[in-house]
Amino acid sequence: MDSNNLEFVSDLRTVVGRLIKKLRKESKTGQQLSLTERSTLSLLLQHKKMLPSELAAIEKITNQSMSGILSHLLELGYIVRTASETDKRKVNISLSAEGEKVMLQVRNERDEWLTKAITGTCTKEEQELLKKAIGTLTKIVEFE
C-alpha cells in the first residue's frame, strides 16, 4: 500500500469509530449498559437463544467474564436462563420480553438519529453512495 492508501485507511477507521461513539451517545437507553452488555443483548436478539460459552467466544472474553455480564443482565430482567432440553447441565440464554423491548428501543433511538443525520446532511446521490458502501463495509467486518 502506498502512503495515500494508508491515509485513507486511517481516515476510514477514525470516521467509523466516531460514528459508533456518536450512535452510542444518541441512545439514552443504550448508555445505561456496557458495550459488551449491549453486544450480548444484540446477539441474543439475532440468535434467539445461545449458550454462555457461545456468547463468550463471539465476544472474545472468558466464560467467567461472560458469567458476570449475564448475572448483571439477569438482575436487570433483560435475559432468561433455561435448562437445555438435550443436556440438563447446559443453560440456554435468551432475551426476556423486557430485554427485547430495551434492545428494540436502543435500535429505534439510534436509527431515528441516523435517519435525521443522513437526511439532514446528505444529498440523494450521497445517500445512494452510502447504500452501495454497506456491502463493502460488511465484507470488511466479516474478514478474519
> Is pTM, for the whole model, over 0.75?
no
pLDDT of residue 3: 59
Model pLDDT for residues 10-19, shown as the tens digit of each residue: 889 999 999 9
Model pLDDT for residues 25-71, shown as the tens digit of each residue: 888 777 788 889 989 999 999 999 999 999 999 999 999 999 999 99
pLDDT above 70 for 4: no
pLDDT of residue 142: 85
The CATH number given to 34-95 is 1.10.10.10
Please report, for the chain, the start and end positions of each structural domain, with discontinuous segments joined by +: 1-32+97-144, 34-95
pLDDT of residue 35: 85
SS3 assignment for 75-103 = HHCCEEEEECCCCCCCEEEEECHHHHHHH
Chain position carrying cell 502512503? 3
Mean pLDDT of 100-106: 93
